[in-house]
Amino acid sequence: MQTGAGELFVEYRRSETDPSGNPPFALDMVYFNTDFVQGGFRGQIAEDVGLTVRLGHVAVRHLMDNQTLRRPRAAPAQARATFAEADTMTAEAALRFGSSRAYFEFGADAELTDRFVTITNPTNPAFFIQSQPDVEAERYGAYLQWRGQLGAVQFELGGRIDRTEQSVGIPLLGAAVPMGPRGLANAFIASGRQASDTTFDGVARLWVESGTFVPRLTLARKTRVPSVLERFAWLPTEASFGLADGNIYVGNQALKPEVAWIAEAGFDWDNDWLTLRPTLFYRRVDRFIQGTPFDATPGVINTPVEMVASMSGDPTPLMFRNTDAELYGADLDFVLRPLARLELAGTASVVRGQRRDIADNLYRIPPANLRLSATRTSGRLAVGTELFAAADQNRVSRTNGEQPGEGFATIGLFARFGFAEGLALEAGVENLLDAAYAPHLAGRSRVGASDVPLLERLPGPGRGVWARLTAQF
């Protein structure tokens, strides 16, 4: 609703996911339902004074199991159903003084999350483990941002401070849970089960607008607080903060926040026939969080954590630890218009990731990749082709037993026909040659009744056809 120079807004959105296969995980999705609601105000409250206020809430209800869809269905003793729920409250407020090209802004924000995860056996009510009980994470932050100009140089300077507090409750276990997990639960109960961090971030962006050629430089300090899973996962499971790599992980309450020192340099070149945007980057990360072998004797089961992990099929669990790392490389995107109705566009990326504390590569670094497209337009019709290619990835982590990845290339076709202003039909074919490939960062198959062997990389999509009708009024 418009209110003078501003607007009041409210939004509600619901997402429901029905039973769905989840091959990189040991469990398939039964449901994943999420409610989003937010509201607030944004606009001008005085001349050259802008205000933004927003409140939001996200509620997630989630169930996964190995009974509903998974084939072969797990035996009764190994049947599992994991219930997860999370509620997140967010709030932010900001004041901006000035115009879009020269302003000073300060603001504050907060995020409060409650989470609860319970692992059950649907065939045995006496088996349940509260793997993430009463997890609470609270973050409060404030920031300053300034955009201005010094001679020909334009700049954006920003800084923020955040306070994060995390805690976990006391896990309860059913009578049918064996002694191994019980011992780990008791040790976890006796531990601190809480952490707090104060972090500082800063950034400086500089550029010179000189027509066709715009050089730019960014220097930054960025921090990341460990997730509650990385810190408080007391039960060895495949929950891995999104890696889906088939390994079993355990948390580490001694983790400290990551600190990344970032430098990026590049330029923009834009004229009638060429748009070019190359960027070189370097990131030196202190206390980089990565899964590492649980102890100095991987494969030798001589600790309670390794015993429990071995019961789940992996005698070599990984623990999240702080390491030191560096990442550097280059990104490029470009558009070339050699003829009036022909456009060539592409993006390319290469990154190198290394440990600084030991002589090893970082785990799960994407290979060099390239995407190229050629589009010819004739009146209402546009047709084109696209190539995506990824190189071999042989610079893998020995510490994590990472396997090299093979390069691949796929070709696609696409077309667009505009019937009228704002009305168009689009269609295409992906992976036209039906190339068989497995991306280096793909998850590992956990499905027994599959053409993909257990723990092999999942293949990329085969040949696919798509079409869509778009209308804008």
Residue 312's pLDDT is what? Answer: 85
Distances 82 to 64, 186, 202, 425, 448 between C-alpha atoms, Å: 5, 21, 40, 43, 20
User: For 149-165, how does the pLDDT look when each residue is reduced to its tens digit (9 = 90+)?
Assistant: 999 999 999 999 999 99
Identity of the amino acid at 14: R
Note the pLDDT of residue 106.
Answer: 97
CA distance 292 to 451: 31
* pLDDT attached to residue 198: 98
Judge whether 316 and 293 are in contact, CB under 8 Å.
yes
Instruction: Please report the pLDDT score of residue 299 as a whole number.
Output: 86
Rounded-to-integer distance, Cα 100 and Cα 122, Å = 57
Q: Which of 90, 3, 10, 13 is nearest to 51 (CA)?
A: 3
Task: Look at phi and psi of residue 246 and say left if phi exceeds 0, alpha if psi is from -120 to 50, else beta.
Answer: left
Q: What is the pLDDT of residue 241?
A: 73
- Within 10 angstroms of residue 49's Cβ, the number of other Cβ atoms is 13
Q: Which amino acid is present at 250?
A: V
Mean pLDDT of the chain: 95
CA distance 116 to 251: 16
Environment class of residue 250 by beta-carbon count within 10 Å: exposed (0-12), middle (13-18) or buried (19+)?
Answer: buried
Residue 357: the pLDDT is 96
**DSSP-assigned letter for residue 427:** E
Q: Do 348 and 331 contact (CB within 8 A), yes or no?
A: yes
Mind listing the pLDDT tens digit for each residue in 83-102? 999 999 999 999 999 998 89
* Tens digit of pLDDT at every position of the chain (473 positions): 998 889 999 999 999 999 999 999 999 999 999 999 999 999 999 989 999 999 999 999 999 999 999 999 999 999 999 999 999 999 999 999 999 889 999 999 999 999 999 999 999 999 999 999 999 999 999 999 999 999 999 999 999 999 999 999 999 999 999 999 999 999 999 999 999 999 999 999 999 988 899 999 999 999 999 999 999 999 999 888 777 788 899 999 999 999 999 999 999 999 999 999 999 999 999 999 999 999 999 989 999 999 999 998 889 999 999 999 999 999 999 999 999 899 999 999 999 999 999 999 999 999 999 999 999 999 999 999 999 999 999 999 998 889 999 999 999 999 999 998 889 999 999 999 999 999 999 999 999 899 999 889 999 999 999 999 999 88
Helix (H, G, I), strand (E, B) or coil at 69: coil
Q: What is the pLDDT of residue 473?
A: 83
